Amino acid sequence: MKFNKEAYTFSKKQFGHLTNKISYKPDFSSLVTFSPNRKLPRHRWFYYKESFSADLVKFLLTKLKTNSNEDYILDPFCGVGTTSLTSKILGYNHIGIDILPLCTFITNTKLANYNTKKIEEILLGIRGKPKSKPKKFGSYYIDKSFDSKVLSKILNLKQEISEIDNKEAKNLARLALLSILLPTSKAVRDGGFLRFNKEKIPENVTSLFNKKILMIIEDIKKSKFTKKTDSIILNDDARTCNIDKKISAVITSPPYLNRYDYTRLYALELTFDFVDDKKLKELRYQTIKSHVESKSNYKIAPSELLASNLDELSNAELTNAQIPNMILGYYADLYATLKNILKYTKKNAKMAFILSSSRFSGIHFEADLILTQLGENLGLKLDEIIVTKLRGSSAQQARKYGDVPLRESIVIFKT
């Protein structure tokens, strides 16, 4: 949708007092995506569509006025580590939290320092010829995604990598293999789902793996970390985990309320190297409630706007009966996250949350305004809402209820 701030105003009367705190930066539309990272060393090792750019982190670190000598930067939904890696490069101490073991593994691997000469020799020696026969393991997603010949090559690489003694080289090789699973498979990430396409022509395992190894070697040669920083990456739940540091700034993007289930989107990588199918299902129920398979017994989070929206939704025709429960749980989870991380933030700290509005049964859930009310309930002060992008409603919503611009925004609080 073409960005025109006149095309959308904050229509709710109770938010009129926020007018002077709202800015419009359509030139940021690409910065709230992962795309710019695809050309950056280390950032490009694993494509993670749901992330944002390193340039956005740089902008926010400047805007939040952090001190690189003593401050800790927190990302409670760290994904593949864009905030952590950018913070490390710029000399900031940092903490990243994610409930998915795939994400914390990728982040830790990006953040490590490497002995290039030793690592290069080991990585270039990988040929997919292990000493031992690869172990077989049953996984619905693996079985559906690969034909037998392709899977045999991948499992040979996996086994050979497991035989590497050098931990740093092993982790880099594991990451390289994880990054090529999707393009060498019959699986595609389609919206919020992992689908299987029998017509898809998989890319060549050997050539793609070798290409990724060369990319990684190139990157670790030219992207040495020159500033000493403290890196803390936790495979944990941001709603409840303990953080043994005082936080000066938060830069994060929680999962959007769009029915995307990350345990399905990344099921291929998760079940290949981290969890079995049973554990994957358990993990699904532990994630932020952004999808209809989530479980929620929460009370409504303290937002008048959210309560009003849910009241409207109670009289609407639903495409899925679990949608109200999903919305209720989602904002309760955001509230719980805010409440938890506030325990560890310094006075006058600032927090930047990148998130997007959503629409269900024609009812617009304005995430930036709802989050503002949740934050204010906890004593946070709204510093600014930066609107970066307007996008149209889904085709289904637009046909039935008319099109409404949905905002992608950065909400900035101060403690």
Q: What is the pLDDT of residue 144?
A: 95
- Domains of the chain: residue spans and CATH: 5-112+227-414 (3.40.50.150), 114-224 (no CATH)
Q: What is the pLDDT of residue 369?
A: 95
78 closest CA partner among 69, 87, 70: 87
* φ, ψ for residue 133, nearest 5 deg: -70, 135
| Pairwise CA distance, residues 41 & 323, whole Å | 40
The token pair that represents 396 in the structure block: 């289904």
Where do we find the tokens 């925004």? 409
Do 315 and 128 touch, CB atoms closer than 8 A?
no
CB-CB neighbours of 340 under 10 Å: 17
DSSP characters over 280-332: HHHHHTTS-S-STT----PPPPS-HHHHHHHHHHTTS--SSTTHHHHHHHHHH
* φ, ψ for residue 331, nearest 5 deg: -75, -30
Give the 3-state secondary structure of residue 187. Answer: strand
| Pairwise CA distance, residues 263 & 213, whole Å | 26
Q: What is the pLDDT of residue 7?
A: 47
CB-CB neighbours of 33 under 10 Å: 19
Q: What is the pLDDT of residue 247?
A: 96
| Pairwise CA distance, residues 89 & 91, whole Å | 6
Give the 3-state secondary structure of residue 98. Answer: strand
Q: What is the pLDDT of residue 290?
A: 79
Amino acid (1-letter code) at residue 77? F
* φ, ψ for residue 350, nearest 5 deg: -125, 150
Do 390 and 320 touch, CB atoms closer than 8 A?
no
38-86 per-position pLDDT tens digit: 999 999 999 999 999 999 999 999 999 887 677 899 999 999 999 999 9
Spell out, as residue ranges, where the chain has pLDDT lower than 50: 3, 7
